[in-house]
Amino acid sequence: MHPLTHHEIVGLVGPFARRGRHVDLAASDRMARKLMFRALEHAADGATLPAYREQLQLDNATPGVHRLTRTLTLADGIASTLIAEGPDPDVLLARVEAIRHDLQLKPGPGFTIAYSHRLADAATMRFVQGRVRVAGLTVGLARDGDGDRHAELTMTTTRDDPLVLPDDLVAVLGWDWTRLDAWTDRAARRWTAGVRLRGRGDAARHDAERKLERVATLLATTLSEPPARFHERQRAARWLFAFRRSIPLQVCALLIVGTLFFTKAGLSQDSVIRMLIFNAPPLLLVAFFCLREPPRIEWPTWPRRAMADTWRPSPTGR
C-alpha cells in the first residue's frame, strides 16, 4: 500500500467537488489513504432536528475498495455514522446522500438518539449501534453481528457519580430485556443488559431503533422522578420479572420433586419414562451451555418501594 498521490486525490475528489464537497487536506492522511472533507454545520430545524455537524471521510486502504463514512455529530459529542463500501466513490456518495439525516438522528423528549448504520445495498441499512445521552447517562445499544438477533445495552456514567439503579430497571420493558449487571472500573461506572431483537433485515433495524428509543424514554421519565415513583408505575412489570427470574429455580425444584416421585412409582427397567428421567440431567446440561445467556439459579429479589428520595443519594443517605 502506497500513500495517496496527487493524481489519485484529484481523481477521487472529483465527484465530491461537483456536489460542493471540498477536500480538507490538512485533516486527511495520505499515508493511510484517508481523505477528509470539510465539515458542514447544520442549524437546528425547529422540533425536527437539533444543530449538528456533518463530515465525510473516504478510505481506500484496500485496492479497488472504497469506504465512505458520513458522520453526524451532535453538540453533546454523540455521533451517528453511515458507512457504504464499493468500488466507485461516485456511486457511494450518491447512495449516502440518498439517506435522509433524520434516519440517523431521532429527537425525543429531552434527548436525541444517534443511530449508526451500514449500507448493505442501495436500499438496505443494517443497524450497527445507537447512542444517546439522557439523564446524565451515556446509553448505547450495539448489535453483536449482522446476522445476530441479540444486542447489548450499556449505560455509562462517571466513576464518582452516586447513581443507584435497580437491576430490573429495563427488564420491566418486557421479555426481550434481561437484568442489569453493574460494575465499576478506574474510569467509569457501567450497567449492561442483554436485548433480544426480532425480525430480519429492515424489521430487525426498526426493532433495535424502537428498543433504544423505549429505554431512553424510560430513563428520561424514571430518573426525573423519585425512585418510589418507579415502583408505583411498574409494580406489575417488576413482579412479572421476579417471576421470570425464579423460573430456573422452579425447574430445579420440579426436577427434584419429579425424581423423588418416579423413584417410588415402580417403573420397569424398560419403561420409556424411566429412560427419559435418567437421561434428563445430561440433556439439560447440553441445553444449559447452548443458551446465549445461561440461566441463573437464584432466589429472586422481591420488588420493593425504594426508600431513598433521589436516584443519586448523598453519602449521608439523603
The pTM (predicted TM-score) of the whole model is: 0.84
Cell of 112: 436525541
Q: Has residue 32 been placed in a domain?
A: yes
Q: Has residue 242 been placed in a domain?
A: no
Cβ neighbors of 195 (< 8 A, separation 6 or more) are 141, 150, 151, 152, 153, 176, 177, 178, 208, 211
- The pLDDT value given to residue 280: 67
Fill in the amino acid letter for 272: V
Cell of 220: 428520561
- The pLDDT value given to residue 281: 66
Residue with cell 486502504: 61
CB 241 within 8 A of CB 172: yes
* Cα–chain center distance at 213: 11
Q: Has residue 149 been placed in a domain?
A: no
Q: Has residue 100 been placed in a domain?
A: yes
Q: How many helices (H) and strands (E) does the chain have?
A: 6, 12
Structural domain of 25? 1-122
d(CA 184, CA 191): 9
- The pLDDT value given to residue 248: 76
- The pLDDT value given to residue 112: 94
**Total domains, the chain:** 1
Q: How far is CA 308 from CA 121, 155, 167, 318, in A?
A: 51, 21, 16, 7
Q: Has residue 29 been placed in a domain?
A: yes
Fill in the amino acid letter for 255: L
Question: How do the pLDDT tens digits run along the chain, 318 residues long?
Answer: 788 888 889 989 999 999 999 999 999 999 999 999 999 999 998 777 899 999 999 999 887 899 999 999 999 999 999 999 999 999 999 999 999 999 999 999 889 999 999 998 766 889 999 999 999 999 999 987 656 688 999 999 999 999 999 999 999 999 999 999 999 988 899 999 999 999 888 898 999 999 999 999 999 999 999 999 999 999 999 999 988 888 777 777 776 776 666 666 666 666 666 666 666 667 666 666 555 566 677 777 788 888 888 999 876 555
CB 129 within 8 A of CB 141: yes
- The pLDDT value given to residue 294: 65
Q: How far is CA 214 from CA 126, 141, 211, 262, in A?
A: 19, 12, 5, 47
Q: Has residue 55 been placed in a domain?
A: yes
d(CA 310, CA 53): 36
Q: Has residue 226 been placed in a domain?
A: no
Q: Has residue 262 been placed in a domain?
A: no
Name the DSSP letter for residue 219: H
Query: What pairing do the DSSP bridges indicate for beta strands 40-42 and 34-36?
Result: unpaired
